[in-house]
Amino acid sequence: MLAFIIRRVLQSLVVLLVMSLLVFIGVYAIGNPIDVLISPDADQIERAKVIVAFGLDKPLWLQYFIFLKNAAGGDLGRSFAYSTPALTLIFERMPATLELSSAAILLSIVLGLPLGLLAGLRPNGVVGKAIMAVSILGFSLPTFWVGLMLIMVFAVQLGWLPTSGRGETQLLFGVPVSFLSWDGLRHLLMPAFNLALFNIALVIRLTRSGAQEALMQDYVKFARAKGLRNSRIIGVHVLKNILIPIVTVVALQFGSIIAFSIVTETVFAWPGMGKLIIDSIRVLDRPVIVAYLLLIVTIFILINLVVDMLYSALDPRVRLAESKG
């Protein structure tokens, strides 16, 4: 187990290094952030001064080595546009994104699993077919369009929910969260649902196919013969056995949702990391782009690690036997 984790950590470091190199080269290739950021009234002398102040006059490989040196000490640079440390900016916005993503994942599970089971148990009934049809919509409709439609219907026409933004926040262990208040929940509902839509559809389909397959297994026939309640058969035996692919997908999607909540955050003016990254890309704020992508890669790596360990917990047949080759 220990060897497994150590190997994982080493692999992760290599991935992080390659990622930072790619971002540096990529941003450099697009253009000079100074041209976008600099004040319109500034003349060429000011421009030259700013370029030196940001270290952009040095050759690219030197800038990269300076970055590595600072990163080893935990400093991922200062944002060009905000002048605050990049990590501070990201951590300031992370609670909002994590809150939104967690709510979205929760909705996916809470809505996806039961609906998927229902569709799996009655695949040929009206209910089952209806659920499958709706799940196709969940896959295919673009997120920004669904978001705008939700706002139009529920906020503008019906007036039930607020159009955008985050509600009132309270501090929970020093982290601002908004789900503890009714106002916060009202603001959270639409963006979380918008973000979760794709995943709800995914979970529905996975659960349905898993349930259909599991119901044909011998152990289900045996459990029925034994006289177990239907709810126990499905809720305990079937569910546990179909959970592995669902857990994998949900876990991977969690990372993906955190990283790419950009569209939902932009449409709903949710002050999260996604909006930060898209704004930073637009003005070529390289320190923030690099810091953000490194953070996302780290999150993905951690999630993968947790998933692998969950496997061995869920399925006794799986051993973390990679070290044996």
* Residues at the site binding another protein, with contacts judged by CB under 8 A: 30-48, 50, 53-54, 78, 80-84, 89, 92-93, 148, 151-152, 155-156, 159, 162-166, 266-269, 271, 275-276, 279, 282-284
Helix (H, G, I), strand (E, B) or coil at 27: helix
Minimum separation from the CB atom of position 264 to another protein (A): 11
- Spatial contact of 93 and 280, defined as CB atoms under 8 Å apart: no
Minimum separation from the CB atom of position 24 to another protein (A): 16
Of the pair 8, 186, the CB lying nearest another protein is at: 186
Neighbour count for residue 39 (Cβ, 10 Å): 9
Minimum separation from the CB atom of position 194 to another protein (A): 12
Minimum separation from the CB atom of position 247 to another protein (A): 34
Sole residue written with tokens 């039930």: 160
Of the pair 87, 223, the CB lying nearest another protein is at: 87
Minimum separation from the CB atom of position 253 to another protein (A): 24
Contacts of 178-186 spanning 24+ positions with Cβ under 8 A: 178/99, 179/99, 179/103, 186/161, 186/162
Minimum separation from the CB atom of position 143 to another protein (A): 13
Neighbour count for residue 116 (Cβ, 10 Å): 27
Of the pair 164, 212, the CB lying nearest another protein is at: 164
Of the pair 279, 308, the CB lying nearest another protein is at: 279
Of the pair 41, 218, the CB lying nearest another protein is at: 41
Of the pair 34, 297, the CB lying nearest another protein is at: 34
- Spatial contact of 78 and 85, defined as CB atoms under 8 Å apart: yes
Q: Which residues of the chain form beta strands (DSSP E)?
A: 170-172, 175-177
